[in-house]
Every structure is written in structure tokens, then in C-alpha cells.
Structure 1
Amino acid sequence: MTTPSHRRRSRPRRHTALLSAVAVAAVALVVSLAVAFRPGGQTADVRDAAKPVAGTRTSGSPTPGTPSASASPTPSTGSASPTARASASRSATPTAASAASAASARAKATTATAPKTSATGSLAGRIRPGVTYPGVATAYDVGNGNGACSYGPTSDVMTAAMNTADYETSKACGAFVAVHAGGKSITVRITNECPAPCQPGQLDLSQQAFAKLAPLSAGRIQITWNLLSPATGDTISIRYKTGSTQYWCGIQAIGHRNPLARLEVRTGGGWKRLERTGYNYFLSEQGTGCGAAIRLTDIYGEQLTVEGIAVKPDAVQPTGVQFTRR
């Protein structure tokens, strides 16, 4: 039988254990207080628990006045705002296309102020350089060589009459054209007009010219033709029409290498352009500029100024100048 003293000896051990438990609790309390009052006010576990898990979205109503993430996503770093794009566009260096456009504008301005540099025949009418025209050729007896262009009698038989449409109120007068048919080619000068039934594209050749392409018995042959700017040692001459005075005059240019686009006379107010007639004279009805300087312009824009041509009706007066060969 166990004595009561044996049970009393175990009481000190319970007291010791109780003290140990109190001590451990005190230490834990001190540690907890230290953690609670360290910077940040939260334990690491509490902060980590507040973070959303990767790949999930937090829920909840957006703060009033603040757009939600789904309604207005933040632009990616690769996209610029409209303001930034507009600013970049204004300050950017011009592109190649805009540079070409600017160069084109400058080029156009130079041509306008210096027409002599043109090589495109921009002042041409129906007959343009670099174009091949299809048509037919017929033949006629040129007689003494005179025709609607009013150049007068000539011994030159390599001539042709242009159909009315391409004659264009004598704008074709003096033009040199190459005519091709059946592998053969000739060069003729336009000195006359071929009225209806001549059709656009048709040339009525002198019999001598026609015979170089086909027998006269052929009567009518298919041809092609194109404008020329031939080599020549001749220079341009000026002739005043019969009846011309200082009060009325008609002026004609003869022997120009390239078709003539304009004839102007100098006046007190500058250059005055004269109207061209179907018989190839330029008229000054009120006598403006009669006897003054004359300016000639060909279809390429080249201009020649002639001084000192007196009003001498029917006199062919040489000028010593000629248009450039094209």
C-alpha cells in the first residue's frame, strides 16, 4: 500500500511544470508583441495572404470615379497615345514620298518660269512629238507649190496637205513629218490643207512624194506618220502681209524647224499675243506692235525674240535665228 507521502512528493514536479508553462507563455507573448510592433504593422503571412494569386482577378465594386480594370485597360507599352502620335507625326522627318512630292513641285515651278527647257511639246495641238499617227495617203498635183499656208510658190515638191482636223487653223503649217508605208519612209513639209472628204490622220501628198512610197495608180495607201525636228541650215524669216501698215498688219514666220505655237509683238504694256488665221498669218487688227519686236514660241516652249523687222509688205526678211533641234 502506497503511503500518502509518496503522492506529496509529486506536487513539487507539478509546480515546476506549471512554472515552466508560464515561462514559455511569457516568452511567446514577448515574441508576439515584438512581431506585432515591427515596421509594416503586419506579419509576413498576413501580407502574403492579402496578395491575389497569380492568374486570378480580385472581385469587388470599383471605387466611384475610378474606371475598372476591365472597362479601361491600361495601354500596352507598344501603343502611343493619340497626342503622342500626332506630335510624332508633326515633328518627324519627311518621308521619301513627301520629298518626291516637294521635288515634283519644285520641278513644276522651274518649267513654268523657263519654258525653253521643255522637251515634251507641251504647247503642241493635235500633232504631238513622239506620237505615231495612223492614216491614209492620197496624191494631188501641187502646181507651183503654193497652198493654204500662204508660203507662196516653191520648187520644193516634197510637201503635203494636212486634213482639216489636224491642220488645226494652220497650226500644222511648216511642220515636217516622216511618212511610212510598205517599209519605205519619206519626209514632207506641210504647206496646204486637205478639206473634206479628207479624214483625221490623212495626208494628201504631192504626186512626187507619193510616188516614192507607191505607184500613183495605187491612189490610196495605208500609212503611219510622225512629227520631226529635222536638221537644217536655214534660219527663220518674217514676212508682213500685203496691205500691212503701222495701223494694221499680218505677220508670218517662214522656215521654222519646229511647229510654231505663238507669235507675239512687243507693246508699251508688254508682249501681246496675236491671233492666228487659217491662212497662216498672225493679225494685229488695230496695228498694235506692227513694226515692233516679235517673239516666236515653238511647241516645245523655246522662245526667239526678233528685233528690227520693218513693216515691208510681201518682203521676206531673214532673222538669223532658228529653233533648237529636238
Structure 2
Amino acid sequence: MASSSHRRSRPERRTGRVPVVTVIAVAAVALVVSLAVVFRPDGGGGDGGASAVAPVAGAARAAVSGSPTATGPAVSPSAKPKPKPSAGSPSATAGTTAKASATPSGTSSGSSAAHAEPATRAASGAAPLAGRIRPGAAYQGVATSYDIGNGDGACSYGPTSDVMTAAMNTADYETSKACGAYVLVRAGSGATITVRITNECPAPCAPGQLDLSHQAFTKLAALSVGRIPVTWSLLSPSTSDTISIRYKTGSTQYWCGIQAIGHRNPLARLEVRTSAGWTRLARTGYNYFLSEQGAGCGGAIRLTDVYGEQLTVEGIAVRANVVQSTRVQFARH
């Protein structure tokens, strides 16, 4: 007796030939209808044409929206896109302003110089108008001492009760450019003293040498030592004083000598305003700036320190040998 099989019989597969034929037939009819619409005399316009195009356009927008580079809605071709502010623009502008501000405003004129002045006051670092004595540099030499008497000297500041002063050697005195400079003097022992340059020490004083007041020298060594090796450097000290202007004895509107007193930083230039603009005056070895023909005497004065900062002073009349306050001061560096 034959045993019965436990396998299930495989169901018969349908070929589906009839549906395929049907689909082909329907597609052919649809194609004929489409061609009839396209070749209509009115070009396929009207609502029917618009309806046929709309899905295609929607599909295209969807494709664009799905693109990794698309981050926002589509922009109408007729709409002009607004430029996006650059994140780097403010810092670049500030850098340009800072750089321009660091430039001595004497190289420009008009309102730009006036706007550059506050930024220049805040700037520090290199001194573009410095001569032999530059900030940040250490100078080597020897220190000697002398009796300063009433405190007057080649810088023509006149008698003073300030005894912490020094005379600068001729090379570093640089035709009075060192006048009024504050320098920090350091001895080999480590002792230091700050002095203001009020005088010139002629030969045999060598470059780098400082001739200190007796009072200043004793802060570093005993007077009996005579001379000691030192290093010194320029300072921009803290001070509550303001700059004063003095016209030289004999000054008038036809000839004048002008001196600045009490400036925190060494003075590089003194200019007067004339009909031709700012005119730079020549500096003498006795620390006055001369206007030989009287140009600018009694007018506005512009002072520039070695850092390039400029201060404009108005309303200083020609009053010979009278110290007149300006109520301004150079910035500290």
C-alpha cells in the first residue's frame, strides 16, 4: 500500500498575461489622448494644460528642496537677494581703524586726523618718531654726578626744586630731543632711580653716559665712588601734571620762540597753524622751537610726542616768559 505524502502540493502559479495586455492597451490609449491634447490648435493651453504641468513643477521643487545645498525656501527669480552680513566685517573694520589710528596723525589733515587722535592716545608700543632714545630699549653707560645748583640747565626749564634730574650726553641729548624725558637708571647693585633730563653733558661725556644730580647719584652709590656702570631706559610715567607753554623772552607776533614744559613723553615736534596749514618749527639746542618770521606766533599749537600722539592747543597768547597751562597731557605708555 503506498504511503501518503506529508508535503503540501505547490499552488499553481498564475501567469498574469491578461493584466499585462490590459495595462499596455490602457497606456496606448493614454498616449493617443496625450498626443491629441498636445497637437490641439490652441497649443494645449487652458486649465487642462496648467493641471498637467503643475505636478512636474512640484516634483522639481521637491528635488531642489531635498538637495544638501538648499537651506531655505526657494527664491523668486525676480526678487533680488539681500547680501548676508559677513561675520568678519566688524573685526576687519576695527583692525583697519586701529592700524590707521596707530599712524601719526601729522601725516594727514582735516577731520580724519581729529578722529584718529583718541585711538592714538590709547595706543602703545613702538615710537615711530623716537630718535636715539627709544622705548623698550636698554642703554648701557656710566653714571657720574654734578652739582645742579638751582636746577636750571641746557633745556631752559629754569630753576626748579626737583632734584631728581640728570644731564644727558651730547649724542643722546640729540639737539634737546631728550629734554623732559624720564629715564629709569639701574646700578649693578640693583638699586634704581627715576630722573628727568633737564641738561646736557658735553664731552668728555660719552654716548650712554648720564651725569646725575648729587641727590640722584646717592640713591645708587656713595658720591665718593665717582662713577658707576649703569643701564637705563625710557619711561612714560604716571603724572598728574599737565603740559604748559612758554614763549621765549623777546617773543612777539613777528618773531617767537615756543617751549613745551611738563610733557610726559619726549616731544618730537611742535607745529603752529598758519595760513598755509600746520608749519613745523625748528628746534634749538636750548629747547625752544623758533618761528623766525613770526608765522603762527600766538595761534594754535600742535604738539607731537615720540609715539605719534598729537595734542592741539588753542588760545595761548604771546606772553613772553610766562608759563601758561594747557590742561592736556600725552597718554601713558
Q: TM-score range by the shorter chain?
A: 0.5 to 0.7
2:158 aligned partner, one-letter code: G
Kindly report the root-mean-square deviation, in angstroms, between the aligned alpha carbons of the 2 structures.
Answer: 1.7
Q: Distance in 1 between matches of 2:257 and 2:185?
A: 32
Bigger radius of gyration, 1 or 2? 1
With over 3 angstroms needed to count, the CA separation of the structure-2 counterparts of 1:254 and 1:109, relative to structure 1, is: closer
Please tell me whether the aligned partners of residues 238 and 251 of structure 1 are also in contact (alpha carbons under 8 angstroms): yes
Residue 236 of structure 2 corresponds to which residue in structure 1? Answer: 229
2:180 aligned partner, one-letter code: G
Q: Distance in 2 between matches of 1:206 and 1:219?
A: 12
Residue 245 of structure 1 corresponds to which residue in structure 2? Answer: 252
Shift of 1:269: 1.6
Residue of 121, 142, 146 corresponding to 1:140 = 146
Q: Residue 217 of structure 2 aligns to a residue in which SS?
A: helix
Residue 320 of structure 2 corresponds to which residue in structure 1? Answer: 313
Residue of 122, 147, 150 corresponding to 2:156 = 150
Q: Distance in 2 between matches of 1:254 and 1:217?
A: 34
Matched, 1:129 2:166: no
Matched, 1:189 2:196: yes
Shift of 1:122: 1.0
2:211 aligned partner, one-letter code: D
Q: TM-score, normalised by structure 1?
A: 0.66
Shift of 1:119: 3.0
Shift of 1:106: 9.0
Residue of 169, 191, 197 corresponding to 1:163 = 169
Residue of 257, 278, 284 corresponding to 1:277 = 284
Residue 295 of structure 2 corresponds to which residue in structure 1? Answer: 288
Q: Residue 143 of structure 2 aligns to a residue in which SS?
A: strand
1:325 aligned partner, one-letter code: R
Deviations 1:146-173 (A, max 9, x none): 0000000001100000000000000000
With over 3 angstroms needed to count, the CA separation of the structure-2 counterparts of 1:106 and 1:152, relative to structure 1, is: closer
Q: Residue 208 of structure 1 aligns to a residue in which SS?
A: helix
2:215 aligned partner, one-letter code: Q
Shift of 1:108: 5.9
Q: Distance in 1 between matches of 2:313 and 2:98?
A: 29
Matched, 1:172 2:178: yes
Could you list the runs of 5+ residues in structure 1 that have no partner in the other structure?
A: 1-102
Q: Residue 177 of structure 1 aligns to a residue in which SS?
A: strand
Q: Distance in 2 between matches of 1:134 and 1:196?
A: 17
Shift of 1:105: 9.3
2:227 aligned partner, one-letter code: R
Q: Equivalent pairs: percent with the same residue?
A: 77
Q: TM-score, normalised by structure 2?
A: 0.65
Shift of 1:285: 0.1
Could you list the runs of 5+ residues in structure 2 that have no partner in the other structure?
A: 1-93, 106-115
Residue 31 of structure 1 corresponds to which residue in structure 2? Answer: none
Deviations 1:43-95 (A, max 9, x none): xxxxxxxxxxxxxxxxxxxxxxxxxxxxxxxxxxxxxxxxxxxxxxxxxxxxx
Residue 306 of structure 2 corresponds to which residue in structure 1? Answer: 299
Please tell me whether the aligned partners of residues 263 and 294 of structure 1 are also in contact (alpha carbons under 8 angstroms): yes
Q: Distance in 1 between matches of 2:97 and 2:320?
A: 46
Q: Distance in 1 between matches of 2:299 and 2:194?
A: 35
Task: Map 1:5-44; keep pairs closer than 5 Å.
Answer: none
Shift of 1:111: 3.7
Task: Map 1:247-262; keep pairs closer than 5 Å.
Answer: 247-262=254-269
Aligned residue-pair number: 224
Shift of 1:268: 1.2
1:161 aligned partner, one-letter code: A
Deviations 1:125-159 (A, max 9, x none): 00000001010000000000000000000011000
Residue of 237, 253, 263 corresponding to 2:270 = 263
Residue 49 of structure 1 corresponds to which residue in structure 2? Answer: none
Q: Distance in 1 between matches of 2:158 and 2:138?
A: 29
Q: Distance in 2 between matches of 1:139 and 1:232?
A: 26
2:139 aligned partner, one-letter code: Y
Deviations 1:244-297 (A, max 9, x none): 000000000000000000000001121000000000000000000000000000
Q: Distance in 2 between matches of 1:232 and 1:104?
A: 30
Task: Map 1:207-226; keep pairs closer than 5 Å.
Answer: 207-226=214-233
